[in-house]
A and B are shown apart, each in its own frame.
Chain A
Amino acid sequence: MHIPDGFIDGKTAVVTAVISAVGVGFALRQVRRELPPRRVPLLGLAAAFLFAAQMVNFPVAGGTSGHLVGGTLVAALLGPSAAVVVVTTVLIVQCFLFQDGGVMALGANVFNMAILNSVIGYMIYRMVLQLFRRFGRDALPRVLVPQSGIGPTYDRGRVTAIAFAAWCATVLAAICCAGQLAWSGTIPWLVAFPAMATVHMFIGVGEGLISALVFLAVYRARPDLITETALTDQPQRLGELVRYGLLVTLGVAVFVAPFACSWPDGLDSVAEKFGFGHKMAAPLLPAPAPDYQMPGIHWAVGATAVAGAAGSLIVFVLALLMGRWLVPKPKDL
Protein backbone atom coordinates (compact mmCIF):
# COMPACT_ATOMS: atom_id res chain seq x y z
CA MET A 1 0.00 0.00 0.00
CA HIS A 2 3.05 2.29 -0.17
CA ILE A 3 2.11 4.92 -2.76
CA PRO A 4 5.15 5.90 -4.87
CA ASP A 5 5.91 9.34 -6.28
CA GLY A 6 4.03 10.34 -9.39
CA PHE A 7 0.82 8.66 -8.31
CA ILE A 8 -0.42 11.56 -6.22
CA ASP A 9 -1.00 14.99 -7.74
CA GLY A 10 -0.36 18.36 -6.17
CA LYS A 11 -3.66 19.05 -4.42
CA THR A 12 -3.89 15.56 -2.92
CA ALA A 13 -0.28 15.76 -1.76
CA VAL A 14 -0.87 19.11 -0.04
CA VAL A 15 -4.13 18.08 1.62
CA THR A 16 -2.77 14.74 2.86
CA ALA A 17 0.44 16.39 4.07
CA VAL A 18 -1.49 18.98 6.09
CA ILE A 19 -3.81 16.40 7.68
CA SER A 20 -0.90 14.07 8.44
CA ALA A 21 1.22 16.86 9.90
CA VAL A 22 -1.62 17.81 12.25
CA GLY A 23 -2.12 14.18 13.24
CA VAL A 24 1.55 13.42 13.83
CA GLY A 25 2.04 16.70 15.70
CA PHE A 26 -0.84 15.84 17.97
CA ALA A 27 0.50 12.32 18.50
CA LEU A 28 3.96 13.67 19.38
CA ARG A 29 2.48 16.08 21.92
CA GLN A 30 0.39 13.33 23.43
CA VAL A 31 3.34 10.94 23.65
CA ARG A 32 5.53 13.58 25.26
CA ARG A 33 2.83 14.20 27.83
CA GLU A 34 1.91 10.67 28.79
CA LEU A 35 4.96 8.54 28.11
CA PRO A 36 7.45 8.40 30.98
CA PRO A 37 10.99 9.32 29.85
CA ARG A 38 12.02 5.77 30.64
CA ARG A 39 10.01 4.54 27.70
CA VAL A 40 11.14 7.09 25.10
CA PRO A 41 13.78 4.75 23.58
CA LEU A 42 11.03 2.15 23.27
CA LEU A 43 9.52 4.18 20.41
CA GLY A 44 12.65 3.85 18.31
CA LEU A 45 13.09 0.21 19.23
CA ALA A 46 9.44 -0.52 18.45
CA ALA A 47 9.94 1.06 15.03
CA ALA A 48 13.01 -1.10 14.43
CA PHE A 49 11.00 -4.08 15.67
CA LEU A 50 8.20 -3.37 13.23
CA PHE A 51 10.67 -3.17 10.38
CA ALA A 52 12.41 -6.40 11.38
CA ALA A 53 9.08 -8.16 11.97
CA GLN A 54 8.05 -7.31 8.42
CA MET A 55 10.96 -9.45 7.23
CA VAL A 56 9.41 -12.60 8.69
CA ASN A 57 7.42 -14.20 5.90
CA PHE A 58 4.31 -16.15 6.73
CA PRO A 59 3.60 -18.86 4.17
CA VAL A 60 0.22 -18.61 2.45
CA ALA A 61 -1.30 -21.25 0.19
CA GLY A 62 0.22 -21.64 -3.24
CA GLY A 63 3.81 -20.76 -2.46
CA THR A 64 3.09 -17.10 -1.83
CA SER A 65 3.79 -15.47 1.48
CA GLY A 66 2.63 -12.43 3.36
CA HIS A 67 4.03 -10.35 6.16
CA LEU A 68 2.82 -8.27 9.05
CA VAL A 69 1.92 -4.61 8.46
CA GLY A 70 1.40 -3.96 12.10
CA GLY A 71 -0.32 -0.60 12.79
CA THR A 72 -3.07 -2.19 14.83
CA LEU A 73 -0.67 -4.52 16.63
CA VAL A 74 1.56 -1.67 17.75
CA ALA A 75 -1.48 0.38 18.75
CA ALA A 76 -2.73 -2.46 20.92
CA LEU A 77 0.72 -2.96 22.45
CA LEU A 78 1.72 0.66 23.06
CA GLY A 79 -1.40 2.80 22.70
CA PRO A 80 -2.64 4.84 19.70
CA SER A 81 -0.41 7.91 19.93
CA ALA A 82 2.77 5.90 20.28
CA ALA A 83 1.64 3.76 17.35
CA VAL A 84 1.17 6.83 15.15
CA VAL A 85 4.72 8.00 15.95
CA VAL A 86 6.22 4.53 15.50
CA VAL A 87 4.58 3.79 12.15
CA THR A 88 5.36 7.30 10.87
CA THR A 89 9.02 6.70 11.71
CA VAL A 90 8.99 3.40 9.88
CA LEU A 91 7.45 5.08 6.83
CA ILE A 92 9.99 7.92 6.83
CA VAL A 93 12.93 5.53 7.03
CA GLN A 94 11.45 3.25 4.39
CA CYS A 95 10.95 6.24 2.13
CA PHE A 96 14.44 7.72 2.42
CA LEU A 97 16.53 4.61 2.89
CA PHE A 98 14.76 1.91 0.97
CA GLN A 99 12.73 3.96 -1.55
CA ASP A 100 9.54 2.26 -0.41
CA GLY A 101 6.87 4.92 -0.89
CA GLY A 102 7.43 8.33 -2.42
CA VAL A 103 8.52 11.64 -0.92
CA MET A 104 5.56 13.60 -2.26
CA ALA A 105 3.28 10.74 -1.27
CA LEU A 106 4.65 10.58 2.27
CA GLY A 107 1.68 12.54 3.60
CA ALA A 108 -0.77 10.15 1.99
CA ASN A 109 1.13 7.11 3.19
CA VAL A 110 1.37 8.48 6.73
CA PHE A 111 -2.35 9.21 6.74
CA ASN A 112 -3.38 5.77 5.47
CA MET A 113 -0.94 3.54 7.25
CA ALA A 114 0.14 5.42 10.36
CA ILE A 115 -2.89 7.47 11.37
CA LEU A 116 -5.95 5.78 9.91
CA ASN A 117 -4.70 2.23 10.38
CA SER A 118 -3.49 2.65 13.97
CA VAL A 119 -6.32 4.85 15.19
CA ILE A 120 -9.19 2.93 13.60
CA GLY A 121 -7.56 -0.34 14.62
CA TYR A 122 -7.21 0.84 18.19
CA MET A 123 -10.79 2.17 18.35
CA ILE A 124 -12.29 -1.07 17.06
CA TYR A 125 -10.05 -3.07 19.36
CA ARG A 126 -11.29 -1.10 22.34
CA MET A 127 -14.92 -1.30 21.25
CA VAL A 128 -14.91 -5.06 20.80
CA LEU A 129 -13.10 -5.51 24.10
CA GLN A 130 -15.74 -3.39 25.86
CA LEU A 131 -18.41 -5.50 24.21
CA PHE A 132 -16.78 -8.62 25.56
CA ARG A 133 -16.52 -7.19 29.02
CA ARG A 134 -20.14 -6.24 29.09
CA PHE A 135 -21.85 -9.10 27.32
CA GLY A 136 -19.38 -11.92 26.86
CA ARG A 137 -19.50 -15.14 28.75
CA ASP A 138 -16.12 -14.15 30.14
CA ALA A 139 -17.57 -11.09 31.81
CA LEU A 140 -16.65 -11.54 35.41
CA PRO A 141 -16.41 -9.09 38.26
CA ARG A 142 -12.88 -7.71 38.34
CA VAL A 143 -12.35 -9.06 41.87
CA LEU A 144 -12.60 -12.62 40.73
CA VAL A 145 -9.99 -12.23 38.03
CA PRO A 146 -6.47 -12.95 39.18
CA GLN A 147 -3.86 -10.15 38.98
CA SER A 148 -6.48 -7.45 38.50
CA GLY A 149 -7.48 -8.05 34.94
CA ILE A 150 -4.44 -9.86 33.61
CA GLY A 151 -5.73 -13.35 33.43
CA PRO A 152 -6.85 -16.03 31.08
CA THR A 153 -10.38 -14.65 31.09
CA TYR A 154 -9.70 -11.66 28.87
CA ASP A 155 -7.50 -13.50 26.44
CA ARG A 156 -10.36 -14.62 24.25
CA GLY A 157 -11.80 -11.17 24.03
CA ARG A 158 -8.40 -9.73 23.20
CA VAL A 159 -7.68 -12.25 20.46
CA THR A 160 -11.05 -11.67 18.84
CA ALA A 161 -10.79 -7.90 19.21
CA ILE A 162 -7.34 -7.54 17.73
CA ALA A 163 -7.96 -9.90 14.81
CA PHE A 164 -11.17 -8.11 13.85
CA ALA A 165 -9.68 -4.65 14.37
CA ALA A 166 -6.65 -5.43 12.22
CA TRP A 167 -8.90 -6.65 9.41
CA CYS A 168 -11.13 -3.57 9.50
CA ALA A 169 -8.18 -1.19 9.68
CA THR A 170 -6.44 -2.84 6.72
CA VAL A 171 -9.54 -2.68 4.52
CA LEU A 172 -10.32 0.92 5.47
CA ALA A 173 -6.76 2.06 4.81
CA ALA A 174 -6.91 0.41 1.39
CA ILE A 175 -10.20 2.12 0.57
CA CYS A 176 -8.76 5.47 1.60
CA CYS A 177 -5.71 4.80 -0.56
CA ALA A 178 -8.02 4.08 -3.50
CA GLY A 179 -9.83 7.35 -2.81
CA GLN A 180 -6.57 9.32 -2.91
CA LEU A 181 -5.48 7.69 -6.15
CA ALA A 182 -8.87 8.41 -7.69
CA TRP A 183 -8.80 12.01 -6.48
CA SER A 184 -5.39 12.43 -8.08
CA GLY A 185 -6.80 11.13 -11.35
CA THR A 186 -4.34 8.23 -11.48
CA ILE A 187 -6.89 5.41 -11.46
CA PRO A 188 -10.64 5.89 -11.72
CA TRP A 189 -12.52 5.19 -8.51
CA LEU A 190 -14.67 2.59 -10.25
CA VAL A 191 -11.56 0.51 -10.89
CA ALA A 192 -9.53 1.39 -7.81
CA PHE A 193 -12.18 0.80 -5.18
CA PRO A 194 -13.21 -2.78 -6.08
CA ALA A 195 -9.62 -3.81 -6.78
CA MET A 196 -8.05 -2.39 -3.61
CA ALA A 197 -10.95 -3.37 -1.34
CA THR A 198 -11.21 -6.94 -2.58
CA VAL A 199 -7.49 -7.65 -2.44
CA HIS A 200 -7.16 -6.17 1.02
CA MET A 201 -10.14 -8.08 2.34
CA PHE A 202 -8.01 -11.19 1.83
CA ILE A 203 -4.76 -9.58 2.97
CA GLY A 204 -6.60 -8.35 6.04
CA VAL A 205 -7.48 -11.89 7.11
CA GLY A 206 -3.80 -12.78 7.22
CA GLU A 207 -2.97 -9.52 8.96
CA GLY A 208 -5.62 -10.16 11.62
CA LEU A 209 -4.41 -13.70 12.21
CA ILE A 210 -0.74 -12.71 12.51
CA SER A 211 -1.53 -9.72 14.74
CA ALA A 212 -3.60 -11.84 17.09
CA LEU A 213 -1.00 -14.61 17.28
CA VAL A 214 1.85 -12.17 17.93
CA PHE A 215 -0.16 -10.26 20.49
CA LEU A 216 -1.01 -13.49 22.28
CA ALA A 217 2.65 -14.54 22.28
CA VAL A 218 3.71 -11.23 23.87
CA TYR A 219 0.79 -11.25 26.25
CA ARG A 220 1.55 -14.72 27.54
CA ALA A 221 5.24 -14.15 28.02
CA ARG A 222 5.21 -10.60 29.43
CA PRO A 223 1.72 -9.33 30.25
CA ASP A 224 3.29 -6.43 32.12
CA LEU A 225 4.63 -4.97 28.86
CA ILE A 226 1.19 -4.10 27.62
CA THR A 227 0.28 -0.62 28.74
CA GLU A 228 -3.40 -1.02 29.15
CA THR A 229 -3.72 -3.78 31.67
CA ALA A 230 -6.87 -2.81 33.48
CA LEU A 231 -8.65 -1.25 30.53
CA THR A 232 -10.24 1.52 32.52
CA ASP A 233 -11.81 4.36 30.64
CA GLN A 234 -9.40 7.15 31.27
CA PRO A 235 -11.14 10.37 30.29
CA GLN A 236 -7.85 11.68 28.95
CA ARG A 237 -7.57 8.86 26.46
CA LEU A 238 -11.19 9.29 25.47
CA GLY A 239 -10.55 12.91 24.54
CA GLU A 240 -7.51 11.82 22.59
CA LEU A 241 -9.58 9.32 20.66
CA VAL A 242 -12.26 11.90 19.93
CA ARG A 243 -9.69 14.24 18.42
CA TYR A 244 -8.16 11.48 16.30
CA GLY A 245 -11.65 10.46 15.30
CA LEU A 246 -12.38 13.96 14.03
CA LEU A 247 -9.16 14.02 12.03
CA VAL A 248 -9.77 10.61 10.48
CA THR A 249 -13.35 11.52 9.68
CA LEU A 250 -12.13 14.67 7.97
CA GLY A 251 -9.67 12.65 5.88
CA VAL A 252 -12.25 10.07 4.91
CA ALA A 253 -14.75 12.82 4.11
CA VAL A 254 -12.25 14.43 1.74
CA PHE A 255 -10.86 11.32 0.05
CA VAL A 256 -13.64 8.76 0.02
CA ALA A 257 -17.00 10.41 0.59
CA PRO A 258 -17.22 12.35 -2.72
CA PHE A 259 -17.00 9.04 -4.55
CA ALA A 260 -18.84 6.82 -2.14
CA CYS A 261 -21.98 8.85 -1.64
CA SER A 262 -22.47 9.30 -5.36
CA TRP A 263 -22.31 5.82 -6.77
CA PRO A 264 -23.65 4.18 -8.78
CA ASP A 265 -24.23 6.91 -11.35
CA GLY A 266 -24.12 10.36 -9.79
CA LEU A 267 -20.34 10.30 -9.92
CA ASP A 268 -19.92 12.67 -12.80
CA SER A 269 -22.17 15.35 -11.38
CA VAL A 270 -20.36 15.26 -8.06
CA ALA A 271 -17.04 15.39 -9.84
CA GLU A 272 -18.20 18.51 -11.67
CA LYS A 273 -19.42 20.08 -8.49
CA PHE A 274 -16.09 19.58 -6.79
CA GLY A 275 -14.31 21.02 -9.77
CA PHE A 276 -12.23 18.06 -10.76
CA GLY A 277 -14.63 16.71 -13.32
CA HIS A 278 -12.27 17.41 -16.19
CA LYS A 279 -9.61 15.32 -14.48
CA MET A 280 -11.79 12.42 -13.47
CA ALA A 281 -14.19 12.12 -16.33
CA ALA A 282 -12.41 13.39 -19.41
CA PRO A 283 -9.11 11.57 -19.84
CA LEU A 284 -9.93 8.34 -18.07
CA LEU A 285 -13.49 7.44 -18.88
CA PRO A 286 -13.89 9.33 -22.14
CA ALA A 287 -16.71 10.48 -24.32
CA PRO A 288 -18.72 7.77 -26.07
CA ALA A 289 -21.00 6.47 -23.35
CA PRO A 290 -18.44 6.24 -20.58
CA ASP A 291 -20.81 4.34 -18.35
CA TYR A 292 -20.99 1.41 -20.68
CA GLN A 293 -17.36 1.02 -21.59
CA MET A 294 -16.70 -1.45 -18.88
CA PRO A 295 -19.94 -3.30 -18.39
CA GLY A 296 -20.53 -4.43 -14.87
CA ILE A 297 -18.15 -1.93 -13.32
CA HIS A 298 -20.88 -0.19 -11.36
CA TRP A 299 -22.09 -3.56 -10.37
CA ALA A 300 -18.57 -4.29 -9.17
CA VAL A 301 -18.58 -1.25 -6.89
CA GLY A 302 -21.91 -2.20 -5.35
CA ALA A 303 -20.88 -5.82 -5.03
CA THR A 304 -17.65 -4.80 -3.31
CA ALA A 305 -19.57 -2.75 -0.79
CA VAL A 306 -21.92 -5.65 -0.09
CA ALA A 307 -18.99 -8.05 0.10
CA GLY A 308 -17.33 -5.71 2.58
CA ALA A 309 -20.35 -5.70 4.83
CA ALA A 310 -20.74 -9.47 4.63
CA GLY A 311 -17.00 -9.94 4.97
CA SER A 312 -16.83 -7.97 8.18
CA LEU A 313 -19.53 -10.20 9.71
CA ILE A 314 -17.76 -13.36 8.55
CA VAL A 315 -14.40 -12.11 9.83
CA PHE A 316 -15.92 -11.26 13.19
CA VAL A 317 -17.31 -14.77 13.55
CA LEU A 318 -13.97 -16.22 12.46
CA ALA A 319 -12.17 -14.07 15.00
CA LEU A 320 -14.55 -15.26 17.69
CA LEU A 321 -13.94 -18.88 16.77
CA MET A 322 -10.21 -18.26 16.71
CA GLY A 323 -10.36 -16.85 20.22
CA ARG A 324 -12.14 -19.99 21.40
CA TRP A 325 -9.72 -22.22 19.59
CA LEU A 326 -6.48 -20.54 20.63
CA VAL A 327 -7.32 -19.82 24.23
CA PRO A 328 -8.45 -22.82 26.28
CA LYS A 329 -11.26 -22.33 28.71
CA PRO A 330 -9.95 -21.23 32.09
CA LYS A 331 -10.42 -23.93 34.65
CA ASP A 332 -9.06 -22.40 37.79
CA LEU A 333 -11.91 -19.97 38.36
Chain B
Amino acid sequence: MSSAPLTIERLTRRFGGVVAADAVSLDIPPGEFHAVIGPNGAGKTTLIGLLAGEIAAQGGSIRFNGKDITWLPGHRRGQLGLARSFQITSLFPTFTALDNVAFAVQAHCGHSFSFWRDARRDDELRAPARAALERVGLASRAGLRVDRLSHGEQRQLEIAMALAAKPRLLLLDEPMAGMGPEESARMVAILRELKRSMTILLIEHDMETVFALADRISVLVYGRVIASGEPEAIRNDAGVRRAYLGDKEAPAQGARHG
Protein backbone atom coordinates (compact mmCIF):
# COMPACT_ATOMS: atom_id res chain seq x y z
CA MET B 1 0.00 0.00 0.00
CA SER B 2 1.39 3.38 -0.95
CA SER B 3 2.01 6.08 1.62
CA ALA B 4 0.20 8.64 -0.52
CA PRO B 5 -2.09 10.99 1.39
CA LEU B 6 -4.91 10.04 -0.91
CA THR B 7 -5.43 6.77 -2.74
CA ILE B 8 -8.68 6.19 -4.56
CA GLU B 9 -9.37 2.74 -5.89
CA ARG B 10 -12.17 1.84 -8.26
CA LEU B 11 -14.54 4.34 -6.66
CA THR B 12 -18.00 3.95 -8.12
CA ARG B 13 -21.28 5.81 -7.83
CA ARG B 14 -24.41 5.67 -9.98
CA PHE B 15 -27.40 7.97 -10.01
CA GLY B 16 -30.18 6.01 -11.63
CA GLY B 17 -28.81 5.00 -15.00
CA VAL B 18 -26.02 7.56 -14.98
CA VAL B 19 -22.62 6.40 -13.87
CA ALA B 20 -21.19 9.52 -12.27
CA ALA B 21 -18.06 7.78 -11.02
CA ASP B 22 -17.02 4.68 -12.91
CA ALA B 23 -14.24 2.80 -11.11
CA VAL B 24 -12.22 5.96 -10.59
CA SER B 25 -8.68 5.32 -9.38
CA LEU B 26 -6.28 8.08 -8.40
CA ASP B 27 -3.09 8.21 -6.41
CA ILE B 28 -1.91 11.51 -5.05
CA PRO B 29 1.58 11.55 -3.51
CA PRO B 30 2.49 14.04 -0.77
CA GLY B 31 3.07 17.59 -1.96
CA GLU B 32 1.47 17.03 -5.32
CA PHE B 33 -0.85 19.51 -6.93
CA HIS B 34 -3.25 17.26 -8.76
CA ALA B 35 -5.96 18.61 -11.02
CA VAL B 36 -9.07 16.83 -12.24
CA ILE B 37 -10.57 18.25 -15.40
CA GLY B 38 -13.47 17.20 -17.52
CA PRO B 39 -16.45 18.54 -19.41
CA ASN B 40 -19.74 19.35 -17.73
CA GLY B 41 -21.40 16.25 -16.40
CA ALA B 42 -18.14 14.33 -16.33
CA GLY B 43 -18.63 13.60 -12.64
CA LYS B 44 -16.21 16.11 -11.14
CA THR B 45 -18.62 17.33 -8.50
CA THR B 46 -19.65 13.79 -7.68
CA LEU B 47 -16.00 12.90 -7.16
CA ILE B 48 -15.46 15.74 -4.72
CA GLY B 49 -18.72 14.83 -2.96
CA LEU B 50 -17.51 11.25 -2.59
CA LEU B 51 -14.17 12.41 -1.22
CA ALA B 52 -15.70 14.92 1.20
CA GLY B 53 -18.18 12.33 2.44
CA GLU B 54 -21.31 14.06 1.21
CA ILE B 55 -22.15 11.29 -1.23
CA ALA B 56 -21.89 7.62 -0.28
CA ALA B 57 -19.80 5.40 -2.51
CA GLN B 58 -21.33 2.28 -4.01
CA GLY B 59 -18.05 0.54 -4.61
CA GLY B 60 -14.32 0.97 -4.35
CA SER B 61 -12.34 2.59 -1.57
CA ILE B 62 -10.79 5.85 -0.44
CA ARG B 63 -7.66 5.73 1.68
CA PHE B 64 -6.46 8.86 3.40
CA ASN B 65 -3.05 8.75 5.06
CA GLY B 66 -3.26 4.99 5.10
CA LYS B 67 -6.68 4.92 6.73
CA ASP B 68 -9.77 3.66 4.95
CA ILE B 69 -12.23 6.55 5.05
CA THR B 70 -14.71 5.25 2.48
CA TRP B 71 -17.50 5.02 5.06
CA LEU B 72 -16.56 7.84 7.41
CA PRO B 73 -19.03 10.74 7.68
CA GLY B 74 -17.91 14.12 6.35
CA HIS B 75 -17.12 15.83 9.66
CA ARG B 76 -14.87 12.93 10.72
CA ARG B 77 -12.93 13.25 7.48
CA GLY B 78 -12.53 16.94 8.20
CA GLN B 79 -11.07 16.12 11.60
CA LEU B 80 -8.55 13.79 9.93
CA GLY B 81 -7.28 16.70 7.86
CA LEU B 82 -9.28 16.62 4.68
CA ALA B 83 -10.63 20.09 3.97
CA ARG B 84 -12.71 21.24 1.07
CA SER B 85 -13.73 24.53 -0.43
CA PHE B 86 -17.14 24.89 -1.98
CA GLN B 87 -17.90 25.55 -5.61
CA ILE B 88 -20.86 27.69 -4.73
CA THR B 89 -19.75 30.20 -2.17
CA SER B 90 -21.19 29.08 1.14
CA LEU B 91 -20.17 31.49 3.84
CA PHE B 92 -21.67 33.29 6.83
CA PRO B 93 -22.63 36.58 5.18
CA THR B 94 -23.59 38.56 8.29
CA PHE B 95 -20.34 37.72 10.06
CA THR B 96 -16.94 39.30 9.46
CA ALA B 97 -14.29 37.65 7.32
CA LEU B 98 -12.28 36.94 10.46
CA ASP B 99 -15.31 35.42 12.20
CA ASN B 100 -15.81 33.11 9.23
CA VAL B 101 -12.29 31.77 9.37
CA ALA B 102 -12.44 31.56 13.16
CA PHE B 103 -15.42 29.19 12.77
CA ALA B 104 -13.20 26.84 10.81
CA VAL B 105 -10.47 27.09 13.45
CA GLN B 106 -12.95 26.49 16.27
CA ALA B 107 -14.27 23.35 14.62
CA HIS B 108 -10.83 21.84 15.10
CA CYS B 109 -10.31 22.96 18.69
CA GLY B 110 -12.33 20.26 20.39
CA HIS B 111 -15.93 20.69 21.53
CA SER B 112 -17.51 24.11 21.73
CA PHE B 113 -19.49 23.72 24.95
CA SER B 114 -17.85 26.79 26.35
CA PHE B 115 -20.48 29.29 27.44
CA TRP B 116 -18.67 32.10 29.15
CA ARG B 117 -15.48 33.33 27.51
CA ASP B 118 -15.72 35.81 24.66
CA ALA B 119 -14.76 33.74 21.64
CA ARG B 120 -13.94 36.86 19.64
CA ARG B 121 -11.14 37.67 22.07
CA ASP B 122 -9.80 34.15 22.16
CA ASP B 123 -6.31 34.07 20.68
CA GLU B 124 -6.48 30.33 20.24
CA LEU B 125 -9.11 31.02 17.56
CA ARG B 126 -8.22 34.46 16.33
CA ALA B 127 -4.49 34.08 15.72
CA PRO B 128 -4.72 31.07 13.37
CA ALA B 129 -7.70 32.71 11.65
CA ARG B 130 -5.68 35.86 11.04
CA ALA B 131 -2.78 33.80 9.72
CA ALA B 132 -5.07 32.01 7.25
CA LEU B 133 -6.51 35.32 6.04
CA GLU B 134 -2.99 36.57 5.56
CA ARG B 135 -2.10 33.59 3.40
CA VAL B 136 -4.90 34.36 0.95
CA GLY B 137 -4.23 38.09 0.99
CA LEU B 138 -7.31 39.13 2.92
CA ALA B 139 -5.68 40.43 6.09
CA SER B 140 -6.86 43.96 5.40
CA ARG B 141 -10.48 42.80 5.04
CA ALA B 142 -10.58 40.87 8.33
CA GLY B 143 -13.08 43.14 10.07
CA LEU B 144 -15.46 43.52 7.15
CA ARG B 145 -18.77 41.73 6.92
CA VAL B 146 -18.62 39.01 4.30
CA ASP B 147 -21.63 40.30 2.36
CA ARG B 148 -19.60 43.44 1.72
CA LEU B 149 -16.72 41.54 0.12
CA SER B 150 -16.42 41.16 -3.64
CA HIS B 151 -17.08 37.81 -5.25
CA GLY B 152 -13.38 37.21 -5.74
CA GLU B 153 -12.66 38.03 -2.12
CA GLN B 154 -15.36 35.64 -1.00
CA ARG B 155 -13.71 32.90 -3.03
CA GLN B 156 -10.39 33.74 -1.38
CA LEU B 157 -12.12 33.54 1.96
CA GLU B 158 -13.34 30.05 1.04
CA ILE B 159 -9.73 29.01 0.65
CA ALA B 160 -8.78 30.65 3.94
CA MET B 161 -11.48 28.67 5.73
CA ALA B 162 -10.21 25.44 4.24
CA LEU B 163 -6.67 26.39 5.27
CA ALA B 164 -7.72 27.23 8.81
CA ALA B 165 -8.65 23.60 9.32
CA LYS B 166 -4.91 22.81 9.04
CA PRO B 167 -5.60 20.32 6.28
CA ARG B 168 -3.26 17.60 5.13
CA LEU B 169 -5.12 17.57 1.86
CA LEU B 170 -6.98 20.47 0.34
CA LEU B 171 -9.91 19.72 -1.96
CA LEU B 172 -10.67 22.72 -4.12
CA ASP B 173 -13.94 22.67 -6.00
CA GLU B 174 -13.69 25.12 -8.91
CA PRO B 175 -12.20 28.03 -6.99
CA MET B 176 -12.28 30.21 -10.09
CA ALA B 177 -16.00 29.78 -10.70
CA GLY B 178 -17.55 33.06 -11.78
CA MET B 179 -14.36 35.08 -11.54
CA GLY B 180 -13.15 37.79 -13.85
CA PRO B 181 -9.63 37.62 -15.35
CA GLU B 182 -8.12 39.86 -12.69
CA GLU B 183 -9.60 37.90 -9.81
CA SER B 184 -8.58 34.64 -11.46
CA ALA B 185 -5.01 35.84 -11.74
CA ARG B 186 -4.96 36.69 -8.04
CA MET B 187 -6.36 33.29 -7.18
CA VAL B 188 -3.73 31.56 -9.32
CA ALA B 189 -1.04 33.43 -7.40
CA ILE B 190 -2.58 32.34 -4.11
CA LEU B 191 -2.79 28.72 -5.22
CA ARG B 192 0.78 28.80 -6.49
CA GLU B 193 1.85 29.96 -3.05
CA LEU B 194 -0.17 27.22 -1.31
CA LYS B 195 1.21 24.62 -3.65
CA ARG B 196 4.62 24.92 -2.04
CA SER B 197 3.43 23.71 1.32
CA MET B 198 0.57 21.30 0.82
CA THR B 199 -1.08 18.50 -1.12
CA ILE B 200 -3.93 19.77 -3.24
CA LEU B 201 -6.62 18.17 -5.33
CA LEU B 202 -8.18 20.73 -7.63
CA ILE B 203 -11.36 20.26 -9.61
CA GLU B 204 -11.44 22.91 -12.26
CA HIS B 205 -13.01 24.03 -15.46
CA ASP B 206 -10.53 26.74 -16.28
CA MET B 207 -7.85 25.18 -18.52
CA GLU B 208 -5.34 27.97 -18.12
CA THR B 209 -5.21 27.53 -14.37
CA VAL B 210 -4.94 23.81 -14.55
CA PHE B 211 -2.07 23.72 -16.99
CA ALA B 212 -0.29 26.52 -15.15
CA LEU B 213 -0.48 24.97 -11.70
CA ALA B 214 -0.90 21.22 -11.75
CA ASP B 215 1.92 18.72 -11.32
CA ARG B 216 -0.35 16.05 -12.70
CA ILE B 217 -3.72 16.11 -14.38
CA SER B 218 -6.45 13.50 -14.59
CA VAL B 219 -9.11 13.79 -17.24
CA LEU B 220 -12.58 12.65 -16.29
CA VAL B 221 -15.14 11.86 -18.97
CA TYR B 222 -18.50 10.21 -18.21
CA GLY B 223 -17.26 9.29 -14.74
CA ARG B 224 -14.18 7.55 -16.04
CA VAL B 225 -10.55 8.62 -15.86
CA ILE B 226 -9.45 8.50 -19.49
CA ALA B 227 -5.95 9.83 -18.92
CA SER B 228 -3.70 10.76 -16.04
CA GLY B 229 -0.26 12.30 -16.27
CA GLU B 230 1.87 15.42 -16.43
CA PRO B 231 0.42 18.47 -18.16
CA GLU B 232 2.61 18.02 -21.24
CA ALA B 233 1.52 14.41 -21.67
CA ILE B 234 -2.14 15.33 -21.21
CA ARG B 235 -1.83 18.14 -23.73
CA ASN B 236 -0.49 15.71 -26.30
CA ASP B 237 -2.76 12.79 -25.49
CA ALA B 238 -4.81 12.06 -28.58
CA GLY B 239 -7.71 10.58 -26.64
CA VAL B 240 -7.97 13.61 -24.38
CA ARG B 241 -7.85 16.00 -27.29
CA ARG B 242 -10.62 14.13 -29.02
CA ALA B 243 -12.84 13.73 -25.98
CA TYR B 244 -12.42 16.99 -24.26
CA LEU B 245 -10.05 19.63 -25.46
CA GLY B 246 -11.16 19.72 -29.07
CA ASP B 247 -8.90 18.72 -31.90
CA LYS B 248 -7.68 22.03 -33.16
CA GLU B 249 -7.43 24.22 -30.13
CA ALA B 250 -4.39 23.96 -27.94
CA PRO B 251 -5.26 24.45 -24.27
CA ALA B 252 -2.22 26.57 -23.46
CA GLN B 253 -3.57 29.32 -25.63
CA GLY B 254 -6.11 30.08 -23.02
CA ALA B 255 -9.04 28.06 -24.22
CA ARG B 256 -11.76 28.18 -21.64
CA HIS B 257 -14.18 25.42 -21.57
CA GLY B 258 -17.62 26.87 -21.13
A in complex with B:
no
